Structure 1
Amino acid sequence: MKENSLLSDLAAYLFSNSSGNGRTPSERELAEHFNVSRGLIREALAILEAMRIVERRAKSGIYLTTTEASVDAMALFAKAGVPLDPILIYETVELRKIHEIKAAELACARATEENYARLREILDLSEAKLAQGEGLAREDRDFHLEIVRATKNSVFFRVCSVYYVMGEQRLPIYFGDLARSRRSHEEHLRIYEALVARDGNLAQALMSAHLQGAESYWKGLIGGPPMPE
């Protein structure tokens, strides 16, 4: 087994083979199952523990703690095909919206000509895809992440990138609706124009309205909680 696939495979295996109280197979059993050394399993478990996926209890064993999992951990679950708690998904979508609205404001102040050129390139690719009757899953991701990149905050970019890892299996389905893809592209054009004009208030308002559709979609898909009064 390649080491770079061990984390996601291990997370999926632990999820599928834990007992009712969350206890998982031992280090020895895991090493035998994956045909790797116990040292490698121990290192992988240390990473999963740091991500709050598991907890190692002295003289008791290894236990899943997925309800406390970090955002990075939820992205790992998505890669591994591990089911995510619907409420956590909804809360993550809500957090993504908050972050990207702020990103639009910051990008208005910090974006460079390189960022604008990349956004224009993405929009041109989107138009070509739509002309061919194709959805915009990749282009949508690239457009949003380029706006975050334009904030010039690398940590901000890494955090927001995780959201798209979590949704990468669902985005092609979401954008398989060509009417939705066209509508999204039109909204991207308006957001781009606000960014070029460096109008932070307008960019935030447009981004908020744009992401409302995605938030409503996920809420309906997973039966998310009602919005607070």
Structure 2
Amino acid sequence: MDQVKVLIRDGALTPGDRLPSERELCQRFGVSRVTVREALRILEASGLVTIRVGAHGGAFLTAPSTDRVGEGLADLLTMSALTAGEVTETRKIVELGALPLIVERATDDDIDALFKLAEEGQAAVDEDAYTVDISARFHIRLAECAHNTALAMLIQSFHGPMLMSLREAREHAPAMGKRGTDEHRRLAEAIRERDLAAAQHVMSEHIARTAQRVSHGAEQD
């Protein structure tokens, strides 16, 4: 399995290529069919190969999807002993760093989606039904506006830890939501106007407030 991954990494195998037959793999790597089949099963589960049956079947290399890679990263992050403070610090670095790309690359559809999410958030606040998941969805969609696959994977994988940090912040500020949704709208406006300085100012205040809340909770602990 590791040797197949090396071939993929070195460019010797590319998406769409058919891997050698089980017999050939056994001979090449000096292992049994049981070992080859187990390796193929793991590669298939990880999204690196697709197994097809029939006369033209076999193991074919595929490109892992954003969702598949994001899920793998999410599992690693979820199982790690992350603190809300660490998550918020990382968000500050990543989300502020992404803003130049977002302001430059966001399409009209992206901006419309941001305004729609901000409106949904405001409606939830008005109905006293605001949840931290609404905030997380806005930030994930915001990252997608950069049109950078690596960034989208990273932010998507951060969904669970982000929710954890937001929930902790909410414990120390139960009424949170109103100001946050207003800042979401202001972010959308700044991106629509291609105003990077304004977007950075809003984002800095937005995340700094969460950082202050989780820090306050840690001090109390």
TM-score, normalization: structure 1?
Answer: 0.57
Contact 1:103/1:147, CA 8 A, preserved across alignment = no
CA separation of 1:85 and 1:148: change in aligned 2, threshold 3 A: closer
TM-aligned CA deviation for residue 213 of structure 1: 0.7
| Residue 103 (structure 2) aligned to one of 95, 104, 108 | 108
Measured against aligned partners, the alpha-carbon deviations of 1:10-49 in whole angstroms (never above 9, x if no partner) come to xxxxxxxxxxxxxxxxxxxxxxxxxxxxx79xx6xxx9xx
Contact 1:108/1:200, CA 8 A, preserved across alignment = yes
Confirm whether residue 120 of structure 1 aligns to residue 115 of structure 2.
Answer: yes
TM-aligned CA deviation for residue 160 of structure 1: 1.8
Confirm whether residue 166 of structure 1 aligns to residue 192 of structure 2.
Answer: no
TM-aligned CA deviation for residue 74 of structure 1: 8.1
| Whole-angstrom CA distance in 2 between matches of 1:178 and 1:131 | 15
| Whole-angstrom CA distance in 2 between matches of 1:85 and 1:78 | 8
TM-aligned CA deviation for residue 133 of structure 1: 0.6
Q: CA RMSD in A?
A: 3.0
TM-aligned CA deviation for residue 75 of structure 1: 4.1
| Whole-angstrom CA distance in 2 between matches of 1:183 and 1:174 | 14
Contact 2:96/2:204, CA 8 A, preserved across alignment = yes
Name the structure 2 match of 1:216: 212
TM-aligned CA deviation for residue 93 of structure 1: 2.1
Contact 2:165/2:214, CA 8 A, preserved across alignment = no
TM-aligned CA deviation for residue 77 of structure 1: 6.1
Name the structure 1 match of 2:75: 76
Name the structure 1 match of 2:86: 91
| Residue 195 (structure 2) aligned to one of 184, 199, 203 | 199
| Whole-angstrom CA distance in 1 between matches of 2:71 and 2:86 | 14
Aligned identity (percent) is: 21
**For the pair shown, which has the larger CA radius of gyration, 1 or 2?**
2
TM-aligned CA deviation for residue 210 of structure 1: 0.9
The letter for the 1-side match of 2:122 is E
TM-aligned CA deviation for residue 172 of structure 1: 4.5
Confirm whether residue 129 of structure 1 aligns to residue 124 of structure 2.
Answer: yes
Contact 1:74/1:84, CA 8 A, preserved across alignment = no
Measured against aligned partners, the alpha-carbon deviations of 1:126-149 in whole angstroms (never above 9, x if no partner) come to 121111112231221111111110
Contact 2:87/2:161, CA 8 A, preserved across alignment = no
TM-aligned CA deviation for residue 197 of structure 1: 0.6
TM-aligned CA deviation for residue 175 of structure 1: 4.5
Runs of 4+ in structure 1 off by over 6 angstroms are 71-74
CA separation of 1:94 and 1:173: change in aligned 2, threshold 3 A: closer
Confirm whether residue 186 of structure 1 aligns to residue 185 of structure 2.
Answer: no
TM-aligned CA deviation for residue 105 of structure 1: 2.3
